[in-house]
Structure formats: C-alpha cells, structure tokens
Amino acid sequence: MKSSTKDKTVGKAHEVKGAVKEVVGKTIHNKDMETSGFLEKVGGKAQNTLGKIEKKLGK
C-alpha cells in the first residue's frame, strides 16, 4: 500500500473515531472525552490531507 493511501485511510479512521468520541462525550456530558474526540478528529483530518498532498506529489 502506498504511503499516501495509508495516510488517507488511517486519517479517515481517526476522523470517524474522533467524531464518535466527541458525540458520546457531549451526550454523557464528559468534557475530557469530548475534547479527546475533537483532537483525534482534527488529527485524522490532518493525516488525511497529508495523504492527499502526497498523492498529488506522486509519493
């Protein structure tokens, strides 16, 4: 698997996992879980974007 494909796949997985944690944290009023989910989601978006950039550069 190419590095760009791996980054996009793993990034998207973290995005989804983070979004779920964020919603669960909001639902049960757990600020730590909500924040953790938000940060994981943002990190996933960054990794996904990195994969897209690598693909455009041909890496």
Secondary structure of residue 17 in the 3-state scheme: helix
pLDDT truncated to tens, each residue of the chain (59 aa)?
Answer: 788 889 999 999 999 999 999 999 999 999 999 999 999 999 999 999 999 999 899 86
User: Model-level pTM?
Assistant: 0.86
Cα 11 to Cα 1, 47, 50, distances in angstroms? 15, 5, 9
Q: Radius of gyration of the chain from Cα atoms? A: 13
Positive or negative: CA dihedral 49, 20, 1, 3: positive
In the chain, domain spans: 3-57
